[in-house]
């Protein structure tokens, strides 16, 4: 019965947490704020604590996760509709370098030391603070940096070159299997795909690790 209880809690908890993650949106992963981090821990603890307490049944787990999910969903709704609530619950970006000068007060306010600032800047390809004109500490702990003009990478506009249309590459084969929705989106059928991969030296679709289509270019094919 103990093992059955553990299995049932894990399965039901997995389903509930998956549903909650879908309802709360992708920001739970891609833009984690301190509040989101705490909410993720609590959701995990609600299920984790139930594993070793046989007195807690499926209904109790469902109730606890549902109530916590409602609270988080209400919080997310508040932050979307009311700017003041957003500032309180999610925080706001801080300018830590302004016009090439470190704003030390903002560093202290965000509990960020100079070594941490240098580390964050290096992740943005800024290896010297002297190269940075502005740096903004985002609410999720990442940094956005704007280099001084003399250190900025040249653009096509700087060279007065003609602009080319940007096309999104489309994956048509992945791990030996055709991505049918993508294949249809480019107007190809299986016959056309087979002809193209054979032209690139592949025997069949199963022999292709990865195939990518891009408008105006030949099909990129990599075999196993």
* Alpha-carbon gap, residue 89 to 167, rounded angstroms: 39
The residues near 147 (Cβ < 8 Å, ≥ 6 apart) are: 126, 131, 132, 133, 153
Residue 202 tokens read as 């592949």
Residues 145 and 181 in one domain: no
Contact by Cβ (8 Å): 206, 200: no
Contact by Cβ (8 Å): 107, 52: no
Alpha helices in the chain (DSSP H): 2-24, 27-30, 34-51, 58-81, 83-90, 104-109, 114-122, 180-185, 190-199
Give pLDDT, residue 119.
92
Answer whether residue 164 is part of any domain: no
Q: Which has more confidence, 162 or 14?
A: 162
Answer yes or no: do 31 and 55 share one domain.
yes
Quick one: DSSP state of residue 161? P
Top-confidence residue, 37 or 164: 164
Same-domain status, 42 and 112: no
Domain presence at residue 101: yes
Residue 224 reports pLDDT greater than 60: yes
Query: Residues 77, 11: one domain?
Result: yes
DSSP string, 157-186: TTTTPPPPPP---EEEEETTEE-HHHHHHT
List the domain range (segments joined by +) for residue 175.
170-223
Residue 64, in any domain of the structure: yes
DSSP secondary structure letter of residue 203? S
Tell which residue, 105, 98, 100, 80, has the closest CA to residue 90: 80
Residue 71 maps to a domain: yes
Instruction: Tell me, yes or no, whether 157 lies in a domain.
Output: no
Same domain (yes/no): 18, 39: yes
Q: How does pLDDT run across 92-134, given as a tens digit for each residue?
A: 789 999 999 999 999 998 888 889 999 999 999 999 989 999 9
Token digits of residue 133: 């004109």
The CATH number of whichever domain residue 188 belongs to comes to 3.30.240.20
Residues 78 and 100 in one domain: no
pLDDT of residue 77: 77
pLDDT tens figures, 66-99: 777 777 777 777 777 776 766 666 677 899 999 9
Q: Is residue 82 part of a domain?
A: yes
Give pLDDT, residue 28: 47
Express each pLDDT in 135-170 by its tens digit. Answer: 999 877 889 999 998 888 888 888 888 877 778 899
- Is the same domain home to 101 and 127? yes
Same domain flag for 101 and 51: no
Claim to verify: residue 60 and residue 101 sit in the same structural domain: no
Domain boundary among 73, 88, 103: 88
- 134 shares a domain with 207: no
Looking at the fold, whether 84 and 98 belong to one and the same domain comes out as no
**167 vs 174: CA distance, rounded Å:** 20
- Total structural domains within the chain: 3
């Amino acid at each position: 019965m103990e093992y059955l209880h553990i299995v049932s809690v894990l399965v039901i908890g997995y389903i509930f947490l998956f549903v909650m993650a879908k309802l709360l949106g992708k920001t739970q992963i891609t833009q984690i704020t301190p509040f989101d981090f705490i909410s993720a821990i609590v959701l995990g603890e609600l299920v984790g604590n139930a594993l070793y307490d046989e007195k807690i049944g499926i209904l109790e787990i469902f109730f606890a996760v549902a109530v916590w999910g409602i609270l988080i969903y209400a919080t997310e709704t508040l932050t979307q509709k009311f700017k003041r609530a957003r500032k309180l619950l999610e925080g706001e970006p801080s300018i830590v370098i302004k016009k090439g000068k470190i704003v030390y007060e903002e560093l202290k306010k965000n509990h960020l030391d100079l070594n941490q600032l240098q580390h964050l800047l290096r992740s943005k390809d800024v290896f010297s603070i002297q190269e940075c004109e502005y740096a903004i500490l985002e609410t999720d702990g990442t940094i956005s940096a704007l280099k001084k003009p003399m250190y900025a990478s040249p653009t096509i506009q700087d060279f007065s070159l003609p602009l080319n249309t940007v096309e999104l590459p489309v994956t048509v084969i992945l791990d030996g299997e055709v991505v049918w929705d993508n294949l249809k989106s480019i107007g190809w059928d299986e016959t056309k795909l087979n002809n193209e991969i054979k032209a690139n030296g592949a025997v069949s679709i199963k022999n292709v690790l990865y195939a990518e289509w891009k408008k105006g270019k030949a099909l990129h094919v990599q075999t196993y």
